[in-house]
Structure formats: structure tokens, C-alpha cells
Amino acid sequence: MPERLYSEKFRLLRELDLPSGDLVIAGSAPLFIRGLRDRMSDLDVVARGEALRRALLLGEARPAPFDSAVSIRLMGGRLEIADAWFTSLFGDVEELFERAETIGGLRFLTLSDTEAWKRRLDRPKDRIDLVRMAESVRESRSPRVRGGPACTKQTTSSASGREPHRRVRIAPRIGHRSLRTWRADKA
């Protein structure tokens, strides 16, 4: 189980003892669990069936700030449980559950679905998350040598027939520098 599943908000969710098969973790948690975000202000959870019934007994249902969903804020607002997630983008909650990815025994919104709703809201924090996601995709596509995403190893043979000469090219790494540049451009 990934270490981040032991953070405070996931511990609070486990304390509720809701059936995990009826939960999909949404919000910024799919980025947090994959190391694409260092923290999250609350844990957004989509619930159905028995998990939703139990959550409704624990707190007051109110209109969610998106679409026609209903949400229940629990644990001092550190957990928010909703009965849907951007239905205008993703459709029925069952479709969301079918696409979800399982990590450490919990279902999480896919990164492509996370990207879609972040593009829809287009808040400053969503733009930062989208940049991080794009950088992660670029890094994952880069050739890796000895664990480093920015290195590539090329082998060339010498004309004399001796052992091949190995060159290591180190490419510039796209990282937080580009994020700072992006923030400065947007300010």
C-alpha cells in the first residue's frame, strides 16, 4: 500500500468504516497519491450504495458546488462525500466507478478524468496541477538510464573494431523551474 494512504485524511476515511467498494476517491487525491501533489486541503470522495447511505447518517447533505450533486462534509470539513462527480463531464456515477483505478485497495479517479475536471474549473490551483501532470507525462516518456529520467545512453562502435564507445547525454530536466516561470507569466 502506498505510504501516502496513511496520511491523516485517509486515516479519517478508514475510521468511518464505509464499504470501500462503494467509494471512488476524487478531487486532488489522485494526484496526491501518485506524488504529483504534496498536500490536499480535504479528501473528496464519491459514494454510492451502502457507503452513501451510511454517510448520509453521519452528516447533513447539502448541494455540492458542481452540477446537481449532494455532498456531506465530515470530520471538520476534512472529508467531503458526494453522490456524484461532475455528471455533465462523466455521466452516471456507475460509469465513474467502472473507469476508476484501484490503488492500495481504494478506487481513485483516473488521471485523465482528473485532468478533465481540472480543465473545466480552470482555477489557478488547477492550472498548476495541469502543468505538473503534463511534466509527469513528459518525464515518463523520456528514456531512463540508472533511474534518471533525464539521461539517455547511446552506444557507438569504433571504426577500428575495438570495444564500442559509450556516450551519456544528459538532457535538461523539466521541473519546478518551468512551474515557477509559468506562475510568473500568469501573475
Identify the residue with better confidence: 149 or 43: 43
pLDDT digits 0-9 by tens, 48-68: 999 999 999 999 999 988 888
Distance CA 112, CA 120 (A): 12
At residue 17 the predicted structure's pLDDT band, cuts being 50, 70 and 90, is very high
For residues 20 and 63, state if they share a domain: yes
Among 68, 89, 120, residue at a domain's last position: 120
Q: pLDDT at position 23, please?
A: 98
For residues 37 and 113, state if they share a domain: yes
Q: pLDDT at position 144, please?
A: 59
* pTM score: 0.73
**What value does the mean pLDDT take over residues 8-14?**
97
**pLDDT above 90: residue 147:** no
- Give a yes or no: residue 149 inside a domain: yes
**pLDDT above 90: residue 24:** yes
Sheet strands (E) in the chain: 23-25, 43-47, 61-63, 70-74, 79-82, 101-103, 106-108, 151-156, 165-170
Helix (H, G, I), strand (E, B), or coil: what is residue 35? coil
Question: Domain of 21?
Answer: 3-120
In what helix (H) or strand (E) does residue 75 lie, and over which residues does it extend? none
**pLDDT above 70: residue 149:** no
- Give a yes or no: residue 127 inside a domain: no
Q: How many domains does the chain have?
A: 2
**pLDDT above 60: residue 150:** no
Identify the residue with better confidence: 34 or 154: 34
Which of 33-37, 61-65, 118-122, 180-184 shows the lowest per-residue confidence on average (mean pLDDT)?
180-184
- Give a yes or no: residue 128 inside a domain: no
At residue 140 the predicted structure's pLDDT band, cuts being 50, 70 and 90, is confident
Which of 23-27, 53-57, 70-74, 148-152 shows the lowest per-residue confidence on average (mean pLDDT)?
148-152
64 φ, ψ (degrees, to nearest 5): -75, 160
For residues 77 and 163, state if they share a domain: no
**pLDDT above 60: residue 37:** yes
